[in-house]
């Protein structure tokens, strides 16, 4: 069986062409603006900025995968209810988080006891829909990360008569 040999110049040209194609594809993705763009879509950047200005120092409920990001954004005090370091908080705090996250029968009680009156959540999170049913309002919508900033209702207010629409009608962008 005969083996086919490639000309060294042709093989070198092919390798250089492939290297150039990889560089053209990957280098733009490694830029600072690409990193900023990724962060804005993967994390609730605009929602966090809004909450930081509007509710400074107040506790915030969020999903565990955004908790570390928000703890980084708000390093003073324990603003974020729980983030992705469960060993730091212990099993009791993790259970309280799970009660809310899973909408267990005690989840509304946990919100009250833990003084949680604000949330940053994905627009499609079950917690967002459940909080809306309880009368929580949407303060702003972050279209880049598809997240909501929500706040508990004032005492005595009536729950909404319609479901939560995304994007919420009449709600400003964060």
Domain that holds residue 37: 8-41
Instruction: Specify whether 132 is located in the same domain as 63.
Output: yes
Instruction: Specify whether 37 is located in the same domain as 56.
Output: no
Is the residue at 1 inside a domain?
Answer: no
Would you state the pLDDT for residue 75? 72
pLDDT (tens digit, 9 = 90+) per residue, 68-111? 888 888 777 656 666 556 666 667 777 888 888 888 899 999 88
Q: What value does the mean pLDDT take over residues 40-44? A: 77
Q: Is 3 exposed, middle or buried (0-12, 13-18, 19+ CB in 10 A)?
A: exposed
Separation between Cα atoms, residue 136 and residue 17, nearest integer Å? 56
Number of domains in the chain: 2
Q: Has this prediction a pTM greater than 0.85?
A: no
Is the residue at 141 inside a domain?
Answer: yes
> Whole-number mean pLDDT of the chain?
77
pLDDT (tens digit, 9 = 90+) per residue, 138-156? 999 999 999 999 999 988 7
Instruction: Specify whether 146 is located in the same domain as 71.
Output: yes
Is the residue at 116 inside a domain?
Answer: yes
Instruction: Specify whether 29 is located in the same domain as 66.
Output: no
Is the residue at 2 inside a domain?
Answer: no
Instruction: Specify whether 84 is located in the same domain as 122.
Output: yes
């Amino acid at each position: 069986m005969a083996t086919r040999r490639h000309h060294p110049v042709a093989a070198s040209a092919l390798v250089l062409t492939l290297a150039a194609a990889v560089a053209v594809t990957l280098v733009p993705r490694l830029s600072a603006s690409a990193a900023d763009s990724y962060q804005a879509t993967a994390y609730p950047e605009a929602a966090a900025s809004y909450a930081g200005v509007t509710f400074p120092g107040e506790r915030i409920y969020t999903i565990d995968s955004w908790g570390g990001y928000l703890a980084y954004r708000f390093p003073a005090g324990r603003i974020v209810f729980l983030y992705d370091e469960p060993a730091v908080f212990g099993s009791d705090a993790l259970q309280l988080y799970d009660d809310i996250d899973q909408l267990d029968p005690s989840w509304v009680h946990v919100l009250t006891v833990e003084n949680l009156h604000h949330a940053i959540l994905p627009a499609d999170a079950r917690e967002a829909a459940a909080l809306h049913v309880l009368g929580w309002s949407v303060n702003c919508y972050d279209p880049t990360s598809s997240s909501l900033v929500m706040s508990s209702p004032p005492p005595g207010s009536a729950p909404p008569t319609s479901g939560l629409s995304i994007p919420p009608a009449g709600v400003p962008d964060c």
